[in-house]
């Protein structure tokens, strides 16, 4: 048998155009310019306005502060800086007046509470203020003139003039400087400057130097319980009193008030020192 011839297989080939690879090109040369171009704005936002110079800010502040000063002159008691804060819109004039009324009410409330406590202490101590007022009158009647000697916690011995006395503090003036305000609890002894050399013989200082800065506790309940009832019975007797700051005073007892008592270097005489009760922490009867 003759073989049957096979038909040749035909494959369709589709010719695609030859792919052309990109040829690397050199970047264009940069263009030099003498002026800087502003950076493109972000998301279409306009560029920020230039900040004012320091001179313009200072000029604006002076103009505003001048207006604030004029505003403070229209309201007695208003500080120009406070008026400037009002001018900036931090608060209003009505707010300032309300704050003044509130501060006045708080101050009157504190003074009323202090007066009640003071009266209770006077009644509990059994003493009188008349002798204390009479003894301190030469120093307080002519404020800023008479020299006094003081023992002050943290300051030591001072010779100064009393400029002002308030409920809580005393303002002192030294010979060449203004000492400023001293809290009354810092005072432990007071005498006339003319007799301070004589009364220093009545004092002894013991203890750590840091103890010289000791002040009594602001709470009356935490202070040493002073024997108020004992002192009236010791008239003319010699006693020794110990203070918190390490000082020990020895002298003849004269009289006692609710807040102070007087010791003399001799049974009679002008060499006397006023001791503040809040500074005491011990008392011994010698004779």
Q: What is the pTM of this model?
A: 0.62
Angstrom CA distances, 7 to 2, 13, 119, stand at 16, 19, 138
Please give the pLDDT value at position 38: 62
Percent of the chain with pLDDT over 90: 31
Q: How do 156-165 and 169-173 pair as beta strands?
A: antiparallel
Please give the pLDDT value at position 243: 95
Instruction: Single out the residue of 167, 216, 159 nearest to residue 190, CA to CA.
Output: 159
- Which residues fall within 8 angstroms of residue 257, CB to CB, at 6 or more apart? 125, 127, 128, 129, 131, 132
Q: Distance between CA 78 and CA 100 in Å, rounded?
A: 10
Please give the pLDDT value at position 206: 85
Quick check: helix, strand or coil at residue 193? helix
Task: Classify residue 252 by burial, with Cβ atoms within 10 Å: 0-12, 13-18, 19+.
Answer: buried
Q: Distance between CA 116 and CA 237 in Å, rounded?
A: 33
Percent of the chain with pLDDT over 70: 80
Tens digit of each residue's pLDDT (9 = 90 or more) over 143-163:
888 899 999 998 899 999 999
User: Is the model's pLDDT at 70 over the cut of 80?
Assistant: yes
User: Is the model's pLDDT at 72 over the cut of 80?
Assistant: yes
Q: Which residue has the higher pLDDT, 206 or 278?
A: 278
Task: Classify residue 19 by burial, with Cβ atoms within 10 Å: 0-12, 13-18, 19+.
Answer: exposed
Please list the residues that pair with 156 across neighbouring strands: 152
Q: Which two tokens stand for residue 155?
A: 């300051």
User: Is the model's pLDDT at 39 over the cut of 70?
Assistant: no
Please give the pLDDT value at position 279: 94
Tens digit of each residue's pLDDT (9 = 90 or more) over 208-243:
778 888 889 888 889 999 888 888 888 889 999 999
Tens digit of each residue's pLDDT (9 = 90 or more) over 45-56:
666 766 777 888
């Amino acid at each position: 048998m003759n073989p049957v011839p096979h038909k040749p297989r035909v494959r369709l080939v589709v010719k695609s155009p030859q792919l052309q690879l990109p040829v690397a090109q050199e970047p264009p040369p940069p263009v030099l310019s003498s002026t800087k171009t502003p950076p493109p704005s972000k998301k279409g936002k306009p560029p920020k306005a230039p900040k004012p110079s320091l001179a313009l800010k200072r000029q604006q502040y002076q103009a505003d502060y001048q207006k604030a000063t004029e505003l403070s002159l229209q309201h007695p008691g208003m500080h120009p800086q406070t008026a400037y804060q009002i001018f900036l819109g931090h608060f209003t004039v009505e707010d300032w007046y309300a704050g003044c009324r509130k501060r006045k009410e708080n101050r009157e409330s504190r003074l009323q509470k202090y007066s009640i406590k003071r009266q209770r202490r006077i009644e509990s101590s059994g003493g009188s203020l008349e002798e204390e007022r009479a003894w301190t009158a030469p120093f307080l009647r002519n404020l800023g003139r008479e020299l006094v000697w003081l023992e002050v916690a943290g300051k030591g011995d001072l010779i100064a003039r009393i400029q002002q006395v308030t409920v809580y503090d005393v303002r002192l003036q030294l010979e060449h400087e203004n000492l400023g305000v001293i809290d009354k609890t810092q005072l432990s002894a007071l005498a006339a400057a003319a007799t301070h050399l004589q009364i220093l013989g009545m004092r002894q200082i013991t203890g750590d130097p840091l103890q010289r800065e000791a002040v009594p506790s602001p709470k009356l309940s935490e202070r040493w319980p002073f024997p108020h009832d004992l002192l009236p019975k010791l008239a003319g007797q010699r006693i020794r009193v110990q203070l918190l700051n390490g000082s020990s005073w020895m002298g003849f007892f004269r009289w006692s008030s609710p807040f102070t008592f007087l010791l003399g270097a001799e049974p009679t005489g002008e060499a006397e020192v006023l001791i503040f009760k809040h500074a005491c922490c011990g008392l011994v009867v010698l004779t």
